[in-house]
Homo-oligomer: A and B are copies of this chain.
Amino acid sequence: MSPTAGPVTDLLVRTAPAGTGTGPAVGAGLSVDDLHASLNDPALTSMTLLNEITGRFPEAVSFAAGRPYEGDYAPEALHRYLDRYTRHLHEDRGFTPEQVARALFQYGDTKGVIADLVARQLAVDEGLAVDPTSVVVTTGCQEAMVLLLRALRRDPRDVVFAAAPTYVGFTGAARLVEMPVRQVREGRGGLDPGELAAEVRRARAEGLNPRACYVVPDFANPGGATMSTADRERLLRLAEREGLLLIEDNPYSMFHDGGRRPPTLKALDRSASVVYVGSFSKTAFPGARIGYLVADQPVWEGGLLADQLAKIKSMLTLNTSSVAQAVIGGMLLEHGHSLERASASSAEVYRRNRRAVLDGLARRFPDPAAGVRWNDPTGGLFVVVTVPFEADDSALEVSAGRFGVLWTPMHHFYAGNGGQRQLRLSVSVLTPEEIDVGLDRLKRFVADRSG
């Protein structure tokens, strides 16, 4: 597809200092070593390289892009949502015109101004009874994770667990607060509570202090697994016994195959063990940068955990953009507080594409003995394929340059070993025709590597 594929070693040549012509730099000049260690983290470097490869092959079919379906994006909707939210403040909440203007333009409540609408959505879509005072609206769910980890990381003994493979946004947030992430291998059924129990014991034996475990129980990114209700119950009992918080991240639950979904961890939680983290990036749109967390844990002499996290937020971003909250609020109001309804057409696209990828793989790799296997997620945006060779960055480079197809090496989602022979296919932004072309190319690439 692209004739510009350079040698792999190009990727290792890092950018030379970009002189600004303003004279010598601070002191003897800054280097990355003068800055926080998160900037030198191998995971960050590898993600940067990955983006670089992807960016160099704009004409390749990309199974790498995880951004949401964008066919429904229409600027006029922003105006409609703003008007809908403004009318809500006026008609439903009795705001005067001055109060409406203040709500949109002034500094707002640190915990957010649409917490009540978020709580209604969780009731409608997830059957969750959430007190709006336990909600903090955040600048995307990324900030929600930072708030939580900043609160939990008091001293060098504090550690957090996460199902591996792990969403890179979570490991990034942990790096910022210098919190070690101990990975727990995920099976077909997602996070294994028995494995987590063993890891917690191991950490305690090392003198560490297990604080929390991050888990995406529904259609995890990137693994795709969904936890059974029985495993959710086991996980909750473990969390209660060990005094662990469970950080339940749920960006994909609306994108299911239509069957019955297990209840969220939060819905099953009887011991206030779960902090629920949500995002509107996939169900509404990422440009709003609106996420939230639900933290109803009582804190001795400190209200709810949500109140403590709001204090941290007041030092991080003060409050979440009122304009962006108004847009998301209007969208929720327009759809009767249901994201299931609001995101129905995206969900349909993802279902169609997931099916096209799974069927397309089955047609192209009919012989299991050839060593190409894939999982069968019942929802979400991703399919994981196992291949009989190293699916690393240099393989990706060849795949993109010589075969015109991009994907994500799974090893990026593991802290140590893992995923070396796996690749992630994202189904979110392609058409069925592109999927067909892309899978044909993937087949040729796999044949080339396996031969």
Contact = CB atoms under 8 A, between A and B. Distances in A.
A22 interface: yes
A317 B143 contact: yes
B317 A289 contact: yes
A290 B22 CA distance: 27
20 contacts: A19-B298, A24-B240, A25-B272, A26-B244, A27-B244, A31-B301, A34-B154, A35-B152, A38-B311, A73-B104, A75-B100, A105-B286, A106-B285, A142-B317, A142-B318, A146-B315, A146-B316, A287-B321, A289-B324, A316-B316
The 10 A-B pairs at the shortest CB distance, nearest first, are namely: A27-B243, A172-B315, A287-B322, A31-B300, A73-B105, A73-B101, A289-B321, A105-B285, A321-B324, A17-B298
Given A15-B302, A31-B299, A31-B302, A315 B38 contact: yes
Copies of chain A in the complex: 2
A369 interface: no
A131 interface: yes
B36 A142 contact: no
Interface in A296-341: 296-305, 308, 311-312, 314-324, 327
B143 A316 contact: yes
A16 interface: yes
A275 to B, nearest CB: 9
A29 interface: yes
Nearest to A44: B311
| Interface of chain A: mostly helix, strand, loop or mixed | mixed
Interface in A320-369: 320-324, 327
A188 interface: no
Nearest to A173: B315
Contacts of A18: 298, 303-304
A234 B312 CA distance: 36
The interface centre, meaning the residue of A14, A104, A108 with most chain B CB atoms within 10 A of its CB, is: A104
B273 A26 contact: yes
Interface of A: 14-20, 22-32, 34-39, 44, 48, 67-68, 70, 73-75, 78-79, 82, 86, 100-108, 131, 134, 139-140, 142-143, 146, 150-154, 169, 172-173, 175-176, 239-240, 242-245, 269-273, 281, 285-290, 296-305, 308, 311-312, 314-324, 327
Contacts of A27: 242-244
B20 A134 contact: yes
A240 B22 CA distance: 12
B300 A17 contact: yes
A275 B21 CA distance: 16
Given A35-B154, A288-B321, 19 more contacts: A14-B301, A22-B272, A26-B272, A27-B242, A31-B300, A35-B302, A39-B151, A70-B105, A73-B101, A73-B102, A75-B86, A105-B285, A106-B285, A108-B287, A139-B321, A146-B315, A169-B318, A176-B312, A321-B321
A36 B153 contact: yes
Contacts of A173: 315-316
Contacts of A176: 150, 312, 315-316
A244 B25 CA distance: 10
Contacts of A150: 36, 38, 176
A101 B70 contact: yes
Contacts of A239: 26
Contacts of A288: 321-323
The interface centre, meaning the residue of A25, A151, A270, A273 with most chain B CB atoms within 10 A of its CB, is: A25
A440 to B, nearest CB: 26
Nearest to A47: B314
A22 B287 CA distance: 35
Contacts of A31: 299-302
A78 B108 CA distance: 17
